Structure 1
Amino acid sequence: MIADILTATLTAQGLLTAFALIGLVMLLSEFISARLTRGRIHGSAIAVLAGLVLAWVGGVFTGGSKGLADIPALAGVGLMGGAMLRDFAIVATAYEVDVARLRAAGGAAVTALLLGLVVPFLAAIMVARASGYTDPVALTTIGAGAITYIVGPVTGSALGATPDIMAISIAIGVLKSILVMVATPLLARPIRLSDSRSAMVFGGMMATTSGVSAGLAATDRALVPYGALTATFSTGLGCLLAPSLFFLVVRAFA
């Protein structure tokens, strides 16, 4: 009886349940980060890995395709992880930016943006070609996923890519995001990632907003808005160019 009442309450308050669950995951992830890795691996990176494991467990448990969101009591996770709240969170990271410092980045930030789009795109296409993929749509979608896990599915949807190709593109983007999260605090000193200008260049080069934000948070929280700004812009630019200009170039040479 109590279990039925609890389940009904959690289901009725799905979004609140999702916030509570994610809050618990973040709390445990921060604890693991501080106690087991001494802060070297940011809690966000651990939380992302935990989220992937939970999604897999949810899929196995329900036999569905939406991970934990297929469990009625946790259906709010699907809304919380949807495009609306995701985009709001991404845009919110730019609110603390000092415009004067943004202008100071100048051509370096622009160059970083272009390299952050072209280099991972070409690298992923080369690997995909070596793995036997020849279809321009598949190549473009996989290449877009290497930019970010957002650009990949956006490009795949626009070009009509098959679900398996879109899944590959998302997996590549998630892997890239996790690597950036983990590597940023470790490499910050050698690459002189210490001020707003270098953070903007870094954000443009890496392109992944989640990876850059978490990595910079573990390095210096004051740098997060600057890296997130160029990373967010790179994501938007990728969503614009990948299914249009990049696809036309790939089709011409595929």
Structure 2
Amino acid sequence: MNTISSVFERNGLLTAFVVVGALVLISGWLSQKLTHGRLQGSAIAIILGLALAFWGGKVTGADHGLADFAVLSGLGLMGGSMLRDFAIVSTAYGVDLREIKRAGLAGALSIVLGVVVSFVIGAAIAAAFGYTDAKSMTTIGAGAATYIVGPVTGTAIGASSEVIALSVAAGLVKSVVVMVGTPLIAPLIGLNNPKSAMAFGGLLGTTSGVAGGLAATDERLVPYGAMTATFYTGMGCLLCPSVLYVALRAIVGG
């Protein structure tokens, strides 16, 4: 056992990929067997991941969840800012600006409105819970856009780690709600064609949530919703730590 533990510790990042891969496989199996695909495997994986992180923190009495176990220390690197920012840059390189023309004016407006409305709601909720300084409100507001935009914004403007963690939590809740709720509301809002899927992805923006929700609704709509949702993430990373932060700072000060 000591030899095995030593191998895991020396290859922490590889171990982290294996653990996350196994969690994704289990989540996919649970999705098919228990919900017949209604609840996407990615949503189950997020819930299980949060539960395991909470358990790990409780058992070790530390602050980094499962990464506080020596054999799983690679999870701290895998979930850190370096690979997060690498993933964002990789996503940006895969975006073709010509594709946004397919969404038309409605798709373009939905992206801007989606970011701004989510930001305003998130910032207002942050203020209601006592986070009234501009950095905290901006970071949590950005997290309400997506769980990627939140930490990117918080890191850029110098928010505390506690606030950045809250922004990630806000984005994860939004992602899960969108995954679960999309199949339920799709018939009510006419979410049954590529153009509506583009507008939907632009308004909500959480790529994993939109893709998972559309997959449970109609798999043919996934590429359209995911396309505008990807642009939404990029737009959020541009607007939240710059224009929206400056505007909010002018309103609340500090």
Q: TM-score range by the shorter chain?
A: 0.7 to 0.9
Please show how residues 125-204 of structure 1 align to structure 2 within 5 Å. Answer: 125-204=123-202
Q: Partner of 2:188: helix, strand, or coil?
A: coil
Are the counterparts in 1 of residues 92 and 234 from structure 2 also a CA contact under 8 Å? no
Give the share of equivalent positions with the same residue, in percent.
52
Query: Which residue in the other structure is 1:233 paired with?
Result: 231
Query: In 2, Cα distance between the equivalents of 1:87 and 1:228?
Result: 19
Query: In 2, Cα distance between the equivalents of 1:16 and 1:73?
Result: 11
Task: For 1:21, give the aligned amino acid.
Answer: V
1:208 correspondence with 2:206: yes
Q: Report the TM-score when normalising by structure 1.
A: 0.86
The runs of 5 or more residues in structure 2 that have no matched partner are none
1:222: Cα distance to partner? 3.3
Task: For 2:4, give the aligned amino acid.
Answer: L
Query: Which residue in the other structure is 1:219 paired with?
Result: 217
Q: CA RMSD in A?
A: 2.6
Query: Which residue in the other structure is 1:21 paired with?
Result: 19
1:253 to 237, 241, 251: 251
Query: In 1, Cα distance between the equivalents of 2:123 and 2:95?
Result: 36
Query: Which residue in the other structure is 2:61 paired with?
Result: 63
1:215: Cα distance to partner? 1.8
Query: In 1, Cα distance between the equivalents of 2:131 and 2:12?
Result: 41
Query: In 2, Cα distance between the equivalents of 1:129 and 1:96?
Result: 35
Query: In 2, Cα distance between the equivalents of 1:223 and 1:247?
Result: 34
Cα deviation digits, residues 118-152 of structure 1 (max 9, x gap): 11111122223333333222221221111111211
Give the number of equivalent residue pairs.
251
The runs of 5 or more residues in structure 1 that have no matched partner are none
1:7 correspondence with 2:32: no
Are the counterparts in 2 of residues 178 and 211 from structure 1 also a CA contact under 8 Å? yes
